[in-house]
Each structure stands twice: as C-alpha cells, then as structure tokens.
C-alpha cells in the first residue's frame, strides 16, 4: 500500500454549499475524508445575552432570528416555555392557529431541505425552485396573518398577537389541496432518479443508537428508525386531537433523510387539513398574560416543541423581575451536528456536502 500524505482543506467559511458561514476543516487522503472538524461561530450574535437585557415580550423578535426559515416554531417554543413558567392557559383557538402555523412552517423547512439537498447534489436549482414556489405561497399566508414573511413575531406567551385575518382559512385550504400535487410532483421528479439513488443510498449512515447518544432529534432521528416525535410524546398544544402518524425510515442514510422529509410533509398536510376543519371560534389571547409577564414568579421552566429540525427548547430562568434572568436555547441545528464525524469519515468530499445538506442546518440557529 502506498503511503500518501493527507491534505487539509477548509470547506468554508465562504463556500456555496455550507448554507452560510460555516467551516469544515477536512483532512483528505486524495478525495477521501479522514478527518473532519466543524468550526462555527461566524454568525454568533449573542442572542442569549440579548435575551437577558429585554423584557419577556422583547425576546420574541429575537427568536425569529434564530432559525429564519422557521420563525413561527421558534416563537412557539419560547411561548411554550414562558407559559410553563407563568402557568398560563392558552385559548383553544390560539392553539389551533399555532398548530396550523407550525405545520406550515414544517412544510417550508422540509421544502427548503429537499430543494437544497438537491442543489448540493448538483441539480442546478430546479428542485429548489419548485420548492421555493410552494414556499412562496406559505409565506404569503404568513404575511397575510402577521404582516411579515419571515420574521413573523406572531406568537406571544398566552396566545397569538392577532386573530386570523379574513380570507385566511379559504386560502389555506386552497393551498393545502394544491400542495398535495406539489409533493406528488416532487416525488415523481426526485424519488427514483438513478444518480440520486447511487449517491444517496448508504452514504452518511447514522445508526439509531449513535443518534440517540448524540442527542440527535427530529427528522434525522426518525430517519434512523426511532419513532420519537415530541408532538406525540408530550401532547403539547392540541396535537392529541389530530390523527397523524410518526413516519420513520430504517437505514438512516442520506436517502432516508430525504424520504423522511417527504413523508413528514404528507403528515403535516393531514394535520393542517384537520386543524382547518376543526378550528373553533373564540379569543386568541389570554387576558392575564400581560399582567403575568410584568411580574413573573421566581423559578425556571423548560419548554420544548418538535420544531421542523428537531427538538427546539427554551430553558428560561426567572428571578422575579420583568427581564428573564437566563435564557438558554437548545438549537437543533447545532446538536444534530454532533455525530458528524461518524457520518462523514471514509466518504468522499462530494458525500460530505450532501450529508451536510441532509442534516439541514441553518447557520443562524447554529451560532445564535
């Protein structure tokens, strides 16, 4: 066997396929990766420190900026944590609105994940554009509801900031029907492509025990075969009223992670359908919330939800003042990277890129 020297390659911080400023220090033997170390922090904005300096409500615009792809679920996770701290009840209609928004966000995120995975495979933006097209309509729904496409700032501890506007429900129903066609089309387009199969099957395999040990959650964990979904486990919000499955895959490779995203979109469509049909009338904001937020009890609370990328949770410590004493965010993007070494070593550079794509990172979430 010929002994050859390895070379060190910096994949990033400015690189087309790292989804932002993220650096991978790769050690290469030819094209094969023998060492990998992620270097992060290029987008660190000190959100946890900023949270300590605002009031409880002023944190919400900051949570929008954690994972800009799914700001609605970020809002929701924070609201869940603070509601747990304050012991606030949320009106039923607000819970339904939250479910609809969270599932729409999940669709956005999974669309982006699938589209950009294909971009990294080298498909020159076509699946990404089709995904963006569907996403655009969801963003329209968001804009209609909260006035902003991406930085929603919609959910508050104790409810949501405003009732659904007129025309939202029919528009959402129309979108939901249309979206089934979109996923169908994506599946015919992408599922069976031979080149995709050749590249994605058995690449970046993540065994279930490693995934649990590395605290990996969300679609990645379920693609490895563990049917762990916080929506089913915790029954937070009103998820126990809807009939949906927790789809899983078995192998935990890139192809399974892709398929997992597609399967979860089907489930989201089911949930949205039921939520749109069953949404009750009523208040959307708890009257006690504003008073409670001014004088929260001392203590701490840990609120978690199933965000599209995995478990997103906020650990809020209160010292009784109007500002949170400490807010710690559990970023799913960052912690899902924990098993990168196991997944990447021994593969080619081209595989590293698609493995990273299938993990579905958002740098703003990773660095906070």
Instruction: Give, as ranges, the residues between 238 and 297 that touch other proteins (CB under 8 A).
Output: 249, 251, 255-256, 259, 262-263, 266
Stretch in the footprint of other proteins (CB under 8 A) among 45-53, 68-76, 94-102, 273-281: 45-53
173 part of the interface to other proteins, by CB under 8 A: no
Q: Is 353 in the site for other proteins (CB under 8 A)?
A: yes
320 makes contact with other proteins (CB under 8 A)? no
Torsion angles phi and psi, residue 206, rounded to 5: -120, 105
Which of 20, 225, 241, 328 is the binder for other proteins (CB under 8 A)?
328
Q: Which two tokens stand for residue 65?
A: 């900026």
Answer yes or no whether residue 344 interacts with other proteins by CB under 8 A: no
Site for other proteins in 184-203 (CB under 8 A): 185, 187-199, 201
- Closest-CA residue to 311 (of 342, 328, 333): 333
351 binds other proteins (CB under 8 A): yes
Q: In the range 218-237, which residues lie near other proteins by CB under 8 A?
A: 226, 228, 233-235
- Which of 335, 343, 355, 361 lies at the binding interface for other proteins (CB under 8 A)? 335
Among 170, 178, 283, 320, the residue binding other proteins under the rule CB under 8 A is: 178
Number of other residues whose CB lies within 10 A of the CB of residue 205:
17
Q: 8 or 278, CB closer to other proteins?
A: 8
Rounded least distance, CB 275 to other proteins, Å: 19
| Shorter beta-carbon distance to other proteins: residue 116 or 242 | 116
Which of 36-44, 70-78, 94-102, 275-283 is the region at the interface with other proteins (rule: CB under 8 A)? Answer: 36-44
From the CB of 366, what's the least distance to other proteins, in Å? 9
The site that binds other proteins (CB under 8 A) totals a number of residues, namely: 120
Q: Is 309 in the site for other proteins (CB under 8 A)?
A: no
* 70-78, 91-99, 104-112, 331-339 -> range binding other proteins (CB under 8 A): 331-339
- Told to check if 170 binds other proteins by CB under 8 A, we report no
Q: Residues near 310 by Cβ (< 8 Å), separated by ≥ 6?
A: 216, 217, 218, 219, 220, 221, 332, 335, 336
Q: Which residue, 236 or 242, has its beta carbon nearer to other proteins?
A: 236
Tell me the window of 67-75, 101-109, 274-282, 343-351 that interacts with other proteins (CB under 8 A).
343-351
Query: CB of residue 341 vs other proteins: minimum separation in angstroms?
Result: 9
């Amino acid at each position: 066997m010929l002994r050859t020297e390895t070379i060190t390659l910096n994949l990033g911080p400015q690189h087309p396929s790292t989804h932002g400023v993220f650096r991978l220090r790769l050690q290469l033997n030819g094209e094969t990766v023998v060492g990998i170390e992620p270097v992060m922090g290029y987008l660190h904005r000190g959100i946890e420190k900023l949270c300590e300096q605002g009031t409880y409500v002023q944190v919400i615009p900051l949570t929008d900026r954690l994972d800009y792809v799914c700001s609605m679920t970020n809002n929701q996770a924070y609201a869940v944590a603070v509601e747990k701290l304050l012991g606030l009840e949320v009106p039923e209609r607000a819970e339904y609105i939250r479910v609809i928004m969270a599932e729409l966000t999940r669709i956005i995120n999974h669309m982006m994940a699938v589209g950009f995975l294909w971009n990294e495979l080298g498909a020159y933006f076509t699946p990404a554009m089709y995904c963006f097209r569907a996403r655009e309509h969801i963003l329209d729904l968001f804009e209609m509801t909260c006035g902003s496409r991406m930085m929603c700032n919609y959910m508050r501890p104790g409810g949501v900031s405003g009732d659904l506007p007129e025309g939202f429900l029919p528009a959402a129903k129309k979108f939901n029907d249309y979206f089934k066609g979109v996923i169908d089309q994506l599946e015919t387009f992408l599922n069976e492509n031979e080149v995709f199969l050749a590249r994605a099957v058995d690449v970046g395999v993540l065994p279930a025990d490693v995934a649990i040990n590395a605290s990996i959650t969300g679609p990645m964990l379920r693609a490895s075969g563990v049917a762990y979904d916080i929506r089913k486990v915790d029954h937070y919000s009103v998820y126990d009223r809807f009939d949906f499955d927790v789809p899983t895959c078995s192998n935990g490779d890139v192809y399974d992670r892709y398929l997992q995203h597609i399967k979860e979109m089907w489930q989201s469509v089911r949930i949205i359908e039921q939520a749109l049909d069953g949404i009750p009338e009523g208040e959307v904001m708890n009257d006690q919330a504003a008073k409670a937020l001014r004088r929260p009890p001392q203590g701490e609370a840990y609120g978690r939800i199933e965000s599209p990328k995995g478990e997103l949770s906020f650990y809020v410590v209160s010292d009784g003042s109007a500002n949170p004493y400490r807010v710690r965010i559990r970023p799913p993007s960052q912690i899902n990277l924990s098993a990168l070494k196991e997944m990447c070593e021994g593969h080619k550079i081209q595989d590293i890129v698609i493995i990273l794509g299938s993990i579905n990172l958002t740098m703003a979430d990773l660095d906070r």
